[in-house]
A and B are shown apart, each in its own frame.
Chain A
Amino acid sequence: MMQQPIVIDDRKSDLSKEVLLHSAQDSSLCFQCGKCTAGCPVAFAMDLTPNQIMRMVQLGLIDDVLNSQTIRLCAYCSTCSVRCPRNIAVADVMDSLRIMAAERNIPGTDRSRKVNIFNQAFLDTLNMFGRSHEVLAMLLFNLRSYQPFHNAKLGLKMFNNGKIKLKPDRVKAVNEVKEIFQRINRLRKGA
């Protein structure tokens, strides 16, 4: 992809505006110093470095950005945000790109797909009980990512240390939490 000429399409330059709307971060301020990438703990596993993402947001390359591994591998450690000489909260830009990918139902591939599956599994347990459920979230993740015994050794160690609880911890007013999900869903569908 990087070897091919980049065609800048004016219709696509709405990307930086959408990022601004989501995160209140002006990506046009970025002047490519690369400090975000230098300090990023996860950069070694990313397909595009954080500063590349920033440049591609400026250029409006929405498909490449939203389909990258990077946007979901970002752990929101925010080292980039506190070091940016242009005061851009780069981690918030990443967060808004993940949200935009979720809005467009982009499931991601490889690593980013797994992150997405876990996030969804976590939210599913939260929606069920009002509190997240560690074991169930892990189980759902394992099943949905087709690796049933993933992290089984860790699970066993935690069980032996009394740190696994099967019975869900349910909020009494769980309906209030369900309502939050439903109201936001309706809002998103209406928009």
Chain B
Amino acid sequence: MKVAYYPGCSYETSGKDYETSAKFVCNKLGIDLIEIPDWSCCGSTAAHSTDHLLAVSLAARNLALVEKMGFDTVTASCSACYQRLALAQTELAQDKKLLEQVNEITGYDYKAAVKVNSILEIIACVDEESIKAKFTRSMENFRIAPYYGCLLVRPAKIKIDDPENPTIMDRVLQTTGARVVDWSHKTECCGASLSVSNNDIVTALVSRIIKAANVADANCIVTACALCHLNLDYYQSFVTQTKGALKEMPVFYFPQILGLAMGFSKKDMGVEYNITDTSELVKKVV
């Protein structure tokens, strides 16, 4: 299967391990990710907080490039990119006048027929037996708190699963033999880009999430978003180091778990480049 791929601006920096592990895993599953030639930024939070037309136009340029490639589906690993592309697509498909105006702004003749899927949906489409056939290691020592955050499940018009209790990632992770815990903070916001401007807010939000993962007796958190990963991975140190009672929670991306189960090395999966120490848990499988 061939899918157009939108890497997003964090693909070589904060989201590097997500991008690399997702590519290894997709390759193994026979999913060909074809990068959009000369893609540009989706605009992210900054654009939609400043000007609606700017936000839709920045996303639309990339959707138009996908159409030009002759692809009908595009996927993004970053969930912020997914949300912006999917929201723009929904609006452009429903509003002809907006589409005309946006085409005038971007200089492209977009027909608004591209489907946007998150990489989680693309991987979850592979049937369970075919995924299981690729596994060489059991992840039974992992007690995972699956963390979806906001952008994949809200708002309703772009949700990939239930906005309050999604299970799509749970199901994918369970195929590896890992125990996926039921917990309260699956979709509670981590504070997103407030981590730059108002990081005390993010520390407060992350501390609640880490506490909930502790209460559920998880030994790690798994995400599908580069910004959630960074916030959970870094800001938990302010809680786990001062309050002592809370256990540190290594944070992984979901393809890293699949990749480790498939027999990929720690280095290929990038599990050693985290801020919170992952080595003790990873040692149990590699």
Contact = CB atoms under 8 A, between A and B. Distances in A.
A157 interface: yes
B41 A130 contact: yes
A120 B47 CA distance: 9
A171 interface: yes
B13 A102 contact: no
Interface string B145-172: 0000010001110000001100000000
A163 interface: yes
Contacts of B243: none
Interface in A85-114: 89, 91-92, 95-96, 98-99, 102, 111, 114
Interface residues of A, number: 65
B193 interface: yes
Given A89-B155, A111-B198, A165-B12, A172 B192 contact: no
A77 B154 contact: yes
A41 B13 contact: no
Contacts of B9: 131-134, 169
A7 interface: no
Interface centre among B50, B52, B187, B275 (most CB of A within 10 A): B50
Given A98-B49, A126-B46, A188-B51, 7 more contacts: A72-B49, A75-B189, A76-B49, A77-B189, A79-B154, A98-B50, A99-B52
Interface in A166-191: 169, 171-174, 176-177, 179-181, 183-184, 187-188
Contacts of B106: 176, 180
A138 interface: yes
Nearest to B185: A41
B105 A183 contact: yes
A173 B196 CA distance: 29
B155 A81 contact: yes
A10 B205 CA distance: 40
12 contacts: A22-B52, A42-B189, A75-B189, A81-B156, A102-B51, A115-B194, A119-B46, A145-B197, A151-B196, A163-B273, A174-B40, A181-B54
Contacts of B52: 22, 95-96, 99
Interface string B8-19: 011011101000
B43 interface: yes
Interface centre among B46, B54, B154 (most CB of A within 10 A): B46
Contacts of A157: 234, 275
A158 B231 CA distance: 12
B274 A138 contact: no
Contacts of A89: 155
Interface in B11-62: 12-14, 16, 38-41, 43-54, 57-58, 61
Interface string B261-279: 0000000000001110000
Interface in A119-148: 119-120, 122-123, 126, 130-135, 137-138, 141, 145
B47 A123 contact: yes
A29 interface: no
Interface centre among B46, B58, B61, B196 (most CB of A within 10 A): B196
